[in-house]
Chains A and B, each alone.
Chain A
């Protein structure tokens, strides 16, 4: 079993829909949680960065972390065709190596 599990999709939604993306993890040492967006043939772009449990909102994006369930989510409101990309969750432990552990990525298409 991988440390981070993420449904690869693909996920297809109409424009304006609310999108929910999720990851589960097994390593209780993870304390920092990130969501990256990756367009085709581009590098991952940081969207959200949260520490420990709780919610964080930035414009149309909301990140949630539930450490008790080892479950993180990214919500996208009023989705746009420009949101069509692969979304990667990533996480790391506090202290020690700064390496990130990524999920497989979920491919999202928002249809006009």
Chain B
């Protein structure tokens, strides 16, 4: 069975450009999470969805970061007017229906801002 799929795997953008990162969760998983992992650090929570509802966006670092999941499956994380400090690996995770299910991660998108 397929795991969490993220695309692109690598993205290079110039400072000031907008980028969009995509996440395909495991089929049937209702919760979807975004994390940011800086080099040598653990993942930091950004936001999460249950179906199409965004239940917590407390980790988004600024209003340049926006996430959506309009049909409750695929999700897109958008970063506007990128800055060098946005360079990181962006990880997506999903979890099965039911309380307290474990989160399963994709391999991430490595974003480099020049």
Contacts and interface: CB of A to CB of B under 8 A. Distances in A.
B31 interface: yes
Interface stretch (B11-19, B63-71, B74-82, B98-106): B98-106
Interface stretch (A62-70, A77-85, A101-109): A101-109
Nearest to A101: B45
Interface residues of A, number: 26
Given A32-B100, A97-B56, A105 B41 contact: yes
B43 A102 contact: yes
B28 interface: no
Contacts of B105: 36, 43-45
A60 interface: no
A51 B41 CA distance: 25
Given A46-B102, A51-B100, A102 B42 contact: yes
A41 B107 contact: yes
A102 B44 contact: yes
Contacts of B102: 34, 46, 49
A29 to B, nearest CB: 14
Nearest to A49: B102
Interface in A68-101: 88, 90, 94, 97-101
Contacts of B31: 98
Interface in B25-76: 31, 33, 35, 40-45, 48, 55-56, 58-59
Interface in A11-61: 32, 34, 36, 41-46, 49, 51
B42 A43 contact: no
B56 A42 contact: no
Nearest to A8: B40
Interface of B: 4, 31, 33, 35, 40-45, 48, 55-56, 58-59, 91, 93, 95, 100, 102-108, 110
8 contacts: A4-B42, A8-B40, A42-B107, A97-B58, A98-B31, A98-B55, A99-B59, A102-B42
Chain A to chain B: the 4 pairs with minimum beta-carbon distance, closest first = A102-B42, A43-B105, A99-B45, A97-B56
